[in-house]
Amino acid sequence: MAKKYKLALKPRDYQLEAAKWALGRDGAVVSLPTGTGKTLIAVIWAKELLEKKAVKRILVLEPTRILVEQVADFFKKTMGVEAKAIHGVYSKQKRRDMWFKALVAVATPETALSDLEYISEAEYDAVIVDECHHTTGKDAYAKLMGRTRGLFKKRLGLTAYIPPTRVKEIEEYIGEIRYWSWSDPRIKPYVPAWIGEVYETELNNYEKKLLEELEEIRNKLYGRDRGLVQTAIRWFVRDGALALRESINKPTRLAELIAPIRQELMNNNIRPAHKLDGLVRVLRDHEGYFHKAIVFVDRVIVAEYIAKQLKEYNPVAIYGKAKMKDDVRKVLEKARHHDTKLIVSTSAGEEGLDLPEGDLLVIWSNVASPLRFIQRHGRILRATTRHGPPKIVVYLVTPDTVDVDSFVDSIELAVKAGVDVPVSKEVVEKLWKRTTRSRILSVIEGRPMPIEWIKEATGLPLDMLRTSLSKLLRHGDIVYIYTHLGKTYATQSDIEILYEEYNEYLQPDPNLHAKAKAYTNGEERAITGNYHKVYRRLKNILEKKKKITRLIITTQIPLPGGALKLVNLNYTYLIDTPEKLELALRNAYSIKQYHKYI
């Protein structure tokens, strides 16, 4: 008897219509605006085929590892099927096992091409090609579909937009195309004013080797020098080798530190701007959709390079009144001209300049202050009319590098700015855990330390480090106590080490009275008394509420001469166990041992 799957979401009528239409064909392409639930159509399609045993296994293709993770999670949660996210982070042997265990496997086309023999052996006979507008020319999508002709008896393509020049090729690889318009009254309410998209811009093998060498240099340094090299790494993965070449040619301390990689940096195999290929792909993928694209970069030299390389779009580079060679008024006039399809602007170019509106916004440089471009250009982001299709913001991100850190922050701020970014909180969390989070935890694991030491060990900028520590505290991954070093951070599994190394700061004074304010799910509870009374009462609250999100301890310390010192201790880490509660209170009631250090 065939297994039945229960949908966790109720489909809308147009989603059922699209799924039914696609199921009636061996090959079909559904074109629906972003934000209208194309992935649920894929789930309905897969559910029907698997329940009727019309196919054995289904391959889902996604253009980025971010979407691979997200769509696999969506299939699991929405349909309850065994869906595997398969990409290059796993070894080839591990991937082989995953292909054979999954009923639904989600992968990038590059991974699928690499593992084509496993896909064939495991008898995958249906394919879902998400973002199928990529299935053209020399793209990995087209290569895969070309090499698997006859393998998949059922094919479903999903996309928000297909450039006119690609229609014939996509029909040949996948099947008949049907469009559902954003203006359909059933669909229009679900279409956001601004849509976010993510394009991964990978380093090539030579660039990856250069990055490894930069990281080796950084790891041998301390203090300011380590921070300088970390900045160089960020420039390289965010802006490209061109930015780093410009920096290394200046008589600075940074140039001295990274001198060992100078020759390799100038190698022709190191692209001047590795994100350019991604930008070209963005512009071609949205061919015919946008009237004017605005690309935001951080470095003038990169802005000039992009403009020179993309002359077919009649580009204009804007990078600040002081540095621009041409008259600013004339440059802005050219930017507004209908023949100008591309504007490349630096952050300096934004200030005080009235840029024309664009309907395609590309964030090249994920910066330490994410989305500052968008925040400064609320007029560009504002949907001036709801009579036209949605506008698009594209993020170019270098995977598996520190560029992902700022990208994660960008996603969070983009959502607040009203951009519908198709990346779930769960996937953002996974990305963050692979980057800054893991670096911080690896540094403090087994060795509690204050923020200054963490900064030196990780090489992270202080503002980025504070933001990441705040997240780790909210999630309960780390804790801290006050010591002679100030706040001293430790992983939650290293609480015993805090007791061993800082025992004198965890010996509560039985005569000390304090006021404790505990915050739980928006509620505030205040308790006054000695250590034992406050601990007992708060433990009861913790058992009922399951977690305390913030704990403030207020007390007075007598000073020489009879004066009193008012002290407020703020514990912002997630208290979800009695052990964490005891740690905070023991530390707070030991205030006399360290109050002069805070």
pLDDT tens figures, 24-80:
999 999 999 877 889 999 999 999 999 999 999 999 999 888 889 889 999 999 999
Q: What is the pLDDT of residue 368?
A: 46
Q: What is the pLDDT of residue 587?
A: 96
Residues 6+ apart with CB under 8 A from 187: 14, 32, 33, 36, 180, 181
Are the C-beta atoms of residues 441 and 477 closer than 8 Å to each other? yes
> What is the rounded average pLDDT for all residues in the chain?
86
Would you say residue 382 has pLDDT above 90?
no
List domains and CATH numbers for the chain: 13-187 (3.40.50.300), 192-424 (3.40.50.300), 507-597 (no CATH)
Instruction: Name which of 103-112, 450-459, 521-530 the model is least confident about.
Output: 450-459
Residue 195 backbone phi and psi in degrees, to 5: -115, 135
Distance between CA 476 and CA 270 in Å, rounded? Answer: 41
Helix (H, G, I), strand (E, B) or coil at 566: strand
Residue 175 CA: distances (Å) to CA of 28, 145, 312? 5, 12, 32
Q: What is the pLDDT of residue 379?
A: 40
- The DSSP-derived string for 115-158 is THHHHHHTTEEEEEEETGGG-STT-HHHHHHHHTTTT-SEEEEE
Would you say residue 280 has pLDDT above 90?
yes
- Residue 110 zone, left/alpha/beta (φ > 0; ψ -120 to 50; rest): alpha
What digits encode the pLDDT tens for the residues 198-248? Answer: 888 999 999 999 999 998 898 788 777 887 888 899 899 999 999 999 988
Of 42-46, 211-215, 352-356, 445-449, which has the strongest mean pLDDT?
A: 42-46
Residues 6+ apart with CB under 8 A from 67: 130, 131, 198, 422, 423
Residue 477 CA: distances (Å) to CA of 430, 468, 469, 474, 520? 14, 11, 9, 8, 18
Q: Which helix (H) or strand (E) holds 345?
A: strand 342-346
Among candidate residues 319, 321, 322, 320, the one with its CA nearest the CA of residue 307: 319
Q: What is the pLDDT of residue 406?
A: 74
Which residue do the tokens 């061109």 mark? 242
Q: What is the pLDDT of residue 354?
A: 60
Q: What is the pLDDT of residue 385?
A: 47
Among candidate residues 434, 480, 474, 493, the one with its CA nearest the CA of residue 454: 480
| Cα–Cα–Cα angle for 492, 497, 500, rounded to 5 degrees | 145
Single-letter code of the amino acid located at 89: V
Q: What percent of the chain has pLDDT over 70?
A: 88
Q: What percent of the chain has pLDDT over 90?
A: 54
Burial call 549-559: b when 16+ CB within 10 Å, e when fewer: bbbbbbbeeee
Residues 6+ apart with CB under 8 A from 161: 31, 133, 285, 286, 289
What digits encode the pLDDT tens for the residues 482-495? Answer: 999 999 999 988 89
Token digits of residue 184: 């359909």
Residue 509 backbone phi and psi in degrees, to 5: -80, 115
Would you say residue 324 has pLDDT above 60?
no
Dihedral sign (CA 163, 164, 166, 167): positive
Q: Which residue has the higher pLDDT, 280 or 326?
A: 280
65-69, Cβ contacts within 8 angstroms, sequence gap of 24 or more: 65/89, 65/108, 65/200, 65/399, 66/198, 66/200, 66/423, 66/427, 66/431, 67/130, 67/131, 67/198, 67/422, 67/423, 68/106, 68/107, 68/108, 69/427, 69/430
What is the rounded average pLDDT of the residues 386-413?
77
Q: What is the pLDDT of residue 89?
A: 73
Q: What is the pLDDT of residue 384?
A: 45
What is the rounded average pLDDT of the residues 335-343?
89
Distance between CA 455 and CA 462 in Å, rounded? Answer: 7
Q: Which residue has the higher pLDDT, 547 or 416?
A: 547
User: 10 Å Cβ neighbour count for 312?
Assistant: 10
What is the rounded average pLDDT of the residues 535-556?
94
What digits encode the pLDDT tens for the residues 137-188? Answer: 888 999 999 999 989 999 999 998 888 889 999 999 999 999 998 888 898 8
Q: Which residue has the higher pLDDT, 13 or 345?
A: 13
The secondary structure of residue 357, as a DSSP letter, is: P
Instruction: Name which of 312-316, 324-328, 375-379 the model is least confident about.
Output: 375-379
Q: What is the pLDDT of residue 225?
A: 85
Distance between CA 593 and CA 581 in Å, rounded? Answer: 19
Would you say residue 338 has pLDDT above 90?
no
pLDDT band for 434, please (50, 70, 90 cuts): low
Would you say residue 352 has pLDDT above 60?
no
Q: What is the pLDDT of residue 154?
A: 96
Burial of 500 (0-12, 13-18, 19+ CB in 10 A): exposed
Q: What is the pLDDT of residue 331?
A: 80
pLDDT band for 375, please (50, 70, 90 cuts): very low
Our CA dihedral for 441, 444, 449, 450, rounded to 10 degrees, sits at -20
